[in-house]
């Protein structure tokens, strides 16, 4: 019989799977589907800029007042609004809904990370394991389920867009400018191969995405236990001053460990934005057509999902450092290869090799970076994960902001430079943690206001 904490992890994971089946599919298509005046990429940049702003104050306030469960539901509603904006994409619809999504994004992810960390610390004493091991396992399970959203969301887009009979062959002149040879490429300027499918097919796809987004909200609202309900009730009765809560995220920046983790966290945003914004447009759509974007990103999602589960379990035996070195070497090799490879439709398998390797690396970046934040800052979880989301989002914003201005070759050099910086700074934190392990919060730290252990009313004694 599975434990209640494990059941809650599954519920959170399935909810995020459903939600990001929609958002992940839309994000992969923005640079190609809404390419006019860079509108799609601009909307993504606005999303992550809004996430940075919300990271500064919203996560602690929402989690403390609503609890993790209802913060997740509210954040999901913000994501669904972006799907509605894509029904009639334009500056007046995409930008406002991008802002709404961004404001809900940081509380959503911070609440999820806080919830999994609390669940892992609660379950560890019952299983006779270290809290960090259970947290790693829970994050691995979450990302195993969550990352498969890329499979389903992109499968939907490729199957639906594949019905467009007007898709033509890619002209030879365009192929000469695909890949790192692109410098200000405007795809299909000849008009022989329209990249945007029929509007009816776009409406069908977005309608499906809205449906699965609403389903995600229902799953979490109905089936997820409110494990920090008592803590939330006590906070409402004894509120901290707003300025104290507002500054919680920034106060944590006094910890040198968090500052040293910033390059690693920002790189996560850089590498994800490259695959969804640059690889899909300048390699896949350019050389194969937009209907192949979904199939290629499915490969990324499948690899990411399987490796998340594998590395979540492997981390307890190997530790984080060897896995992160593997991810860095894989990304390094891919970046160098992408600088020299000129995509050609006759090399179809190669288009799937890069997202498969990228998915393996991203699985490590996501599971291990989330886990290390939970392990290093067990008593400041909300503020720590708000910082994580803020700095990761800054990586997204910077990458999407220069997307329409720089040649692809320079974007790859920037990605490479951030990766190298990451591998210089990250080992410093890892070595310090090896020498001076952060003590976890034991089960006794989670008590009700009556001082008794009550799993229905577990609270986190997190002091911001």
Average pLDDT for 338-359? 92
392-395-397-399 Cα dihedral, nearest 10 degrees: -150
Domain range summary for the chain, segments of one domain joined by +: 4-235+243-434
The tens digit of pLDDT for each residue in 10-24 reads: 999 999 999 999 998
Banded model confidence at residue 185, pLDDT cuts 50, 70, 90: very low
Contacts of 243 (CB under 8 A, 6+ apart): none
CA 50 centroid distance within chain: 15
The tens digit of pLDDT for each residue in 31-85 reads: 767 777 678 888 888 998 898 888 777 887 888 888 889 999 999 999 999 999 8
Out of 210-214, 244-248, 313-317, 320-324, least confident range = 244-248
**What pLDDT sits at residue 127?**
79
Q: How many CB atoms lie within 10 A of CB 464?
A: 19
Q: Which CATH class is domain 4-235+243-434?
A: mainly alpha
315 or 156, which is more confident:
156
The tens digit of pLDDT for each residue in 250-290 reads: 788 888 999 999 999 999 999 998 988 789 888 988 888 87
Question: In 3D, which of 227, 254, 259, 263 has the Cα closest to residue 112?
Answer: 227
Looking at residue 442, the DSSP 8-state letter turns out to be: P
Most confident of 217-221, 302-306, 432-436: 217-221
Contacts of 144 (CB under 8 A, 6+ apart): 13, 305, 306, 308, 309, 312
d(CA 159, CA 413): 34
Whole-model pTM? 0.72
On average, the pLDDT of the chain sits at 81
Q: Is the pLDDT of residue 369 over 50?
A: yes
Residues 339, 354 contacting (CB under 8 angstroms): no
Q: Is the pLDDT of residue 111 over 70?
A: yes
């Amino acid at each position: 019989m599975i434990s209640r904490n494990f059941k809650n992890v599954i519920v959170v994971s399935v909810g995020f799977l459903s939600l990001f089946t929609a958002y992940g599919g839309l994000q992969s298509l923005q640079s190609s589907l809404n390419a006019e005046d860079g509108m799609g990429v601009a909307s993504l940049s606005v999303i992550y800029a809004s996430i940075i702003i919300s990271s500064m104050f919203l996560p602690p306030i929402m989690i403390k007042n609503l609890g993790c469960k209802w913060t997740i539901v509210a954040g999901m509603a913000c994501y669904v609004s972006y799907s509605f904006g894509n029904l009639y994409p334009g500056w007046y619809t995409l930008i406002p809904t991008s802002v709404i999504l961004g404001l809900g994004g940081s509380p959503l992810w911070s609440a999820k990370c806080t919830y999994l960390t609390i669940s892992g610390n609660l379950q560890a004493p019952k299983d006779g394991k270290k809290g960090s091991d259970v947290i790693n396992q829970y994050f691995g399970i979450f990302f195993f389920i969550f990352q498969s959203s890329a499979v389903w969301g992109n499968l939907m887009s490729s199957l639906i867009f594949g019905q467009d009979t007007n898709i033509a062959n890619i002209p030879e002149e365009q192929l000469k400018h695909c890949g790192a040879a692109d410098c200000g490429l405007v795809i299909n300027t000849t008009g022989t191969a329209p990249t945007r499918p029929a509007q009816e097919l776009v409406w069908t796809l977005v309608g499906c995405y809205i449906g699965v987004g609403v389903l995600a909200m229902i799953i979490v609202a109905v089936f997820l236990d409110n494990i920090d309900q008592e803590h939330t009730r006590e906070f409402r009765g004894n509120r901290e001053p707003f300025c104290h809560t507002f500054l919680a995220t920034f106060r944590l920046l006094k910890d040198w460990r968090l500052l040293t983790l910033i390059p690693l966290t920002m790189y996560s945003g850089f590498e994800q934005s490259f695959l969804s914004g640059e690889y899909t447009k300048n390699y896949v759509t350019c050389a194969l057509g937009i209907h192949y974007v979904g199939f290629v990103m499915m490969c990324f999602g499948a690899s990411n999902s399987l490796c998340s589960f594998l590395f979540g379990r492997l981390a307890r035996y190997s530790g984080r450092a060897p896995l992160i070195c593997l991810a860095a070497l894989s990304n390094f090799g891919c970046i160098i290869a992408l600088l020299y490879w000129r995509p050609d439709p006759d090399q179809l398998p190669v288009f799937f090799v890069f997202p498969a390797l990228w998915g393996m690396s991203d699985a490590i970046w996501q599971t291990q970076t989330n886990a290390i934040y939970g392990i290093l800052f067990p008593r400041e979880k909300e503020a720590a994960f708000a910082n994580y989301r803020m700095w990761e989002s800054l990586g997204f914003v910077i990458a999407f902001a220069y997307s329409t201005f720089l040649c692809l070759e320079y974007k790859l050099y920037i990605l490479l430079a951030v990766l190298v910086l990451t591998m210089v700074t990250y080992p410093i934190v890892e070595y310090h943690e090896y020498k001076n392990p952060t003590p976890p919060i034991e089960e006794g730290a989670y008590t009700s206001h009556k001082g008794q252990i009550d799993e229905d009313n577990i609270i986190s004694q997190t002091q911001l």
